[in-house]
């Protein structure tokens, strides 16, 4: 299990990741200016932890136990977890790495090169 603080630290360690705070205290992680993970305060409408998932995994993941389509971001294939404790640390890290990779891969090649990706 990873706490929101551990998730915050892990996301910050990913290549070229940046951290900002937006929307009433939501911690937003981006790569190349594009969001890949959100960490919201308890009871915020976006869900405690939200992240981008590969399009081909969205349907199955959004219906999995503990997951739901992320409010406001489901159309972009994001999922939300209200309780990150349902995942092991290695599972959470794998989902976050994949979210980062999906967004990084969609960046223009020149931007990827500039960021060292």
Q: How many domains does the chain have?
A: 1
CB atoms within 10 A of CB 62: 17
What integer pLDDT is reported at residue 67 of this predicted model? 95
CB atoms within 10 A of CB 78: 24
CA 71 to mean position of chain CA atoms: 13
What integer pLDDT is reported at residue 84 of this predicted model? 87
Mean pLDDT by 10 residues, the chain (117 residues): 92 97 92 96 77 94 93 93 91 97 96 93
Query: Residue 65's domain is classified under what CATH number?
Result: 3.90.1150.30
What integer pLDDT is reported at residue 43 of this predicted model? 72
Tokens representing 4 are: 């929101």
Query: Domain residues for 70?
Result: 4-115
The residues, ordered by sequence, that sit 6+ positions from 65 with a Cβ below 8 Å of its Cβ are: 86
């Amino acid at each position: 299990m990873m706490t929101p603080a551990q998730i915050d630290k892990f996301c910050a360690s990913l290549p070229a990741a940046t951290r900002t705070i937006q929307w009433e205290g939501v911690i937003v992680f981006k790569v190349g200016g594009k969001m890949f993970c959100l960490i919201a305060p308890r009871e915020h409408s976006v869900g405690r932890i939200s992240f981008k998932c590969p399009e081909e995994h969205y349907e199955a993941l959004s219906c999995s136990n503990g997951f739901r389509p992320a409010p406001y971001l489901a159309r972009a294939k994001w999922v939300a977890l209200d309780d990150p404790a349902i995942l092991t640390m290695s599972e959470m890290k794998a989902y976050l790495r994949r979210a980062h990779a999906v967004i990084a891969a969609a960046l223009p090649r020149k931007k990827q090169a500039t960021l060292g990706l």
